[in-house]
Amino acid sequence: MKLPKFEKNNKLFWLYIVLGAIVTIFAIIFAPFWSSVNVPWKNWSQSILNLIIATFLSLYLFGFLIKKVIRTKGQTLKVLTIIEFVLLFLIDLYLVLGQWIPSLNIIKVNGACAITGLALYVRGVVELFRAYFYHRETSNKYPIWWLCIAIGFVSFGMWMLVAPFIQDIVIIWIFVAILFIVGILLIVYGIYAKPQKKKQEKKVTKNK
C-alpha cells in the first residue's frame, strides 16, 4: 500500500500514528538494556542484527561474488574465489540459523565488524593473487590503483578482524535510535495531518 504524500488534513492520518506507535514499540523492545532482564524479547536485538548482517552478506555473495566465481578463468583464482564464497556462505548460514543449530558455527568469527573485516581481508588476498598471476602471465601491468585497494582491503580487513573497533551493541543502539526517531516523527506527523472538524455555523436571528 502506497502511503500518501506528507500534507495536512490527510484522511489516513491514523495510519501514520499506528505505524509510528508500532515502530516506537519495536525500538523499545530492541533496546540492548533488556539483555539483563528476564523477558521473552531480551535477545531479539542481537537476532535482528544477525539478520541484517546476513542480508547484506547475502547481497554481497549472490550479487557480486557469485559473478566473480563464474567469470574467473584461471584455475587457481577460481578455486580461491570459491573458497572465499564458501567461507562467507558458512558465516551467512550461521547468522540465520545459528540460534537453532549452534553446530553451524564452524568459523569462529562473530560480530558485524569482525565479519566485515574477514570479507575485506579475503577479497584483498584473492585480488593480490590475481595481480600476481596477471603480472606473470601477461606483459601488461596490473592497475596500480587496484593493487593499492587490494592491499588496503588486506590491511584494514585484518585490523577489523583482529581488533574490532565497533561493537555490536553500538550498532544496535544506532539502529534503535533511528527506529525511535522515525516512530516519533510518524506519530507527530499523524497528529499534524489529522483533518480539522469544520465548525458549524450557528445561525443567529436578530430581533429587530
User: How many domains is the chain partitioned into structurally?
Assistant: 1
Q: What pLDDT does residue 1 have?
A: 46
Residue 54 lies in a domain: yes
In a domain, 36, yes or no: no
Tell me what pLDDT residue 107 has.
84
Question: Looking at the domain assignment, is residue 128 inside a domain?
Answer: yes
On whether residue 96 sits in a domain, the answer given is: yes
H/E element, 188 = helix 168-192
Per-residue pLDDT tens digits of the chain, which is 208 residues long:
455 556 676 788 899 999 999 999 999 999 999 988 888 898 899 899 999 999 999 999 999 999 999 998 888 889 999 999 999 999 999 999 987 888 888 888 889 999 999 999 999 999 999 888 887 877 777 789 999 999 999 999 999 999 999 999 999 999 999 999 999 999 999 998 888 776 544 444 444 4
Structural domain contains residue 130 = yes
Distances (CA, A) of 141 to 133, 164, 183: 11, 35, 54
All residues at 6 or more sequence positions from 121 whose CB lies less than 8 Å from its CB, including other chains: 153, 154, 157, 158, 160, 161
**Residue 141, SS3 per DSSP:** coil
Give me the domain span that covers residue 113: 13-30+41-192
Q: Would residue 100 count as lying in a domain?
A: yes
What whole-number distance in Å separates Cα of residue 28 and Cα of residue 39? 13
- Identify whether 86 is part of a domain: yes
8 A C-beta contact, residue 104 and residue 93: yes
Q: Is residue 183 part of a domain?
A: yes
Check if the beta carbon of residue 65 is closer than 8 Å to that of residue 85: yes
User: Would you state the pLDDT for residue 188?
Assistant: 94
All cell numbers assigned to 115: 565479519
Task: Report the pLDDT value the prediction gives residue 141, as an integer from 0 to 100.
Answer: 76
CA distances from 169 to 38, 41, 48, 174 (A): 18, 16, 12, 9
